[in-house]
C-alpha cells in the first residue's frame, strides 16, 4: 500500500519550503510510477495534488460505492490527515473520457472520506449554510474576497485541465457546448468551487470547500470554519480507529458504509423534486451539489 504522508509532517516542515517541495515531488514521482493505467488522460493540475494510483481509485470506489464516476478521478492531496493513510478528497476530471461514460463534473473536487462526508451532511442538514451566509459571509469582506479568490482558482484549474490534449477527436469546448448549450458551457468554464458562479459569495456546497482545504493545507477560510465546527461537534479529521473498512478495498466481511445523504433521500419525492429543480437551474447557471455528475 502506498502511504500518503501525514499532513502534520508537511505542516511542521513548511517552515522550509525546499523541504516541502522535495517531499511532494518525491511523492509525486513515486506515485506516478506506481499508477499503471488510469482511465483518464488528463494530468492533475490542482495545487498540492499528486496523480491518483489504481489503489486510490479502488479506495474511491470503496468510499463512494460508485464505479464509473470514480474513474474520473485524477488527483489526491499530497498529504492526508487520515490515520489509516487513505485519501480524503479527490480532484476530478471536468470532462472525463467517454469510456467512463463521459459525464461532466461541474465540481473539480470531491470530499470522499465517508465519515467527513457524513459529518458535513449533518452540518448542512442543520441549516449551517444560510446561517453562515447571514452571520459571517455578509458581514465580512475579507471572507468574501477569500471565497471569490478560491472560485477563481477553481475556474483557472478547470480551464488549464481542458487545454490538455483531449482523448476525443473533437475539441473540448465543442463537446461541452454540445452537452450544456452555449450558455451552460460558458458558465461551466467560469464556474468556481462546486460549480458556483464566480461572482457568488453565497456558500453552497460545504463538501467542496472542505475538500479544497484538504488540498491546500487549510488555506481557505470557509474550510477553516467547517473544521472548527466539526471539531466542536467532536468529529475527528483523522477518522476513528475502526473506520478503515470504509476505505480499504482489501477488507472483506461485514461492511456497511455510512449512507451518503443523496442515496437515502432518493427514495423520497423530495429528492426527486430537488433533482428536477437542479436540472432546470442548470440551464441558467451551473449549480453545485453533492452529486456533481450531470
Ligand atoms: C491490497 O492488497 C494488495 C495485494 O496484496 C496490495 O498490493 C495493496 O497494497 C493492498 N491495499 C491496501 C490498501 O492495503
CA atoms within 13 A on the CB side of 139: 5
Mean pLDDT of 12-17: 44
In the numeric block, the cell 437515502 is attached to 264
Q: Which residue has the cell 506515485?
A: 31
Q: Which three cell numbers stand for residue 42?
A: 488528463
Which residue CA neighbors atom 8 of ligand 1 most closely? 1
What is the Cα–Cα distance from 221 to 233, expressed in whole angstroms? Answer: 19
- Residues in contact with ligand 1 by the CB-under-6-Å rule are 1, 55, 248, 250
User: How much distance in Å is there from the Cα of 245 to the middle of ligand 1?
Assistant: 13
More confident residue, 174 or 250: 250
The predicted-structure confidence for 106-142, as pLDDT tens digits, reads as follows: 999 999 999 999 999 999 999 999 999 999 999 999 9
Are the CB atoms for 151 and 200 separated by under 8 Å? yes
* 39 Cα: distance to centroid of ligand 1 (angstroms): 20
Nearest alpha carbon, ligand 1 atom 14: 1
- Residue 239 CA to ligand 1 center (angstroms) comes to 20
- Cα 284 to Cα 109, 145, 191, 273, 281: the distances in Å are 22, 24, 12, 18, 6
Q: What is the pLDDT of residue 179?
A: 86
Residues, the chain: 294
Measured in whole angstroms, the distance separating CA 60 from the mean position of its chain's CA atoms is 11
**Cα of 1 from ligand 1 centre, angstroms:** 5
Q: If 0-12 CB within 10 Å is exposed, 13-18 middle and 19+ buried, where does residue 17 land?
A: exposed
Amino acid at each position: 500500500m502506498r502511504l500518503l504522508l501525514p499532513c502534520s509532517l508537511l505542516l511542521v516542515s513548511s517552515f522550509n519550503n525546499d523541504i516541502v517541495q522535495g517531499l511532494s515531488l518525491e511523492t509525486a514521482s513515486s506515485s506516478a510510477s506506481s499508477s499503471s493505467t488510469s482511465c483518464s488522460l488528463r494530468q492533475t493540475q490542482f495545487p498540492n495534488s499528486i496523480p491518483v494510483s489504481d489503489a486510490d481509485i479502488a479506495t474511491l470506489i470503496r468510499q463512494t460505492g460508485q464505479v464509473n464516476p470514480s474513474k474520473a478521478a485524477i488527483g489526491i492531496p499530497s498529504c492526508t490527515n487520515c490515520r489509516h493513510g487513505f485519501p480524503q478528497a479527490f480532484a476530478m476530471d471536468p470532462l472525463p473520457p467517454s469510456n467512463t461514460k463521459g459525464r461532466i463534473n461541474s465540481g473539480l473536487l470531491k470530499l470522499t472520506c465517508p465519515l467527513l462526508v457524513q459529518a458535513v451532511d449533518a452540518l448542512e442538514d442543520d441549516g449551517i449554510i444560510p446561517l453562515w451566509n447571514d452571520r459571517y459571509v455578509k458581514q465580512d469582506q475579507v471572507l468574501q474576497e477569500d471565497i471569490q479568490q478560491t472560485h477563481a482558482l477553481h475556474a483557472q484549474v478547470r480551464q488549464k485541465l481542458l487545454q490538455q490534449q483531449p482523448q476525443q477527436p473533437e475539441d473540448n469546448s465543442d463537446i461541452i457546448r454540445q452537452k450544456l448549450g452555449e450558455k451552460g458551457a460558458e458558465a461551466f468554464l467560469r464556474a468556481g468551487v462546486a460549480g458556483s458562479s464566480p461572482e457568488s459569495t453565497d456558500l453552497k456546497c460545504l463538501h467542496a470547500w472542505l475538500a479544497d482545504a484538504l488540498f491546500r493545507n487549510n488555506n481557505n477560510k470557509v474550510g477553516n470554519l467547517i473544521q472548527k465546527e466539526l471539531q466542536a461537534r467532536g468529529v475527528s479529521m483523522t477518522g476513528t480507529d475502526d473506520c478503515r473498512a470504509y476505505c480499504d478495498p482489501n477488507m472483506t466481511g461485514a461492511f456497511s458504509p455510512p449512507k451518503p445523504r443523496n442515496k437515502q433521500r432518493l427514495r423520497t419525492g423530495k429528492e426527486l423534486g430537488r433533482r428536477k429543480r437542479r436540472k432546470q437551474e442548470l440551464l441558467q447557471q451551473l449549480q453545485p451539489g453533492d452529486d456533481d455528475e450531470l
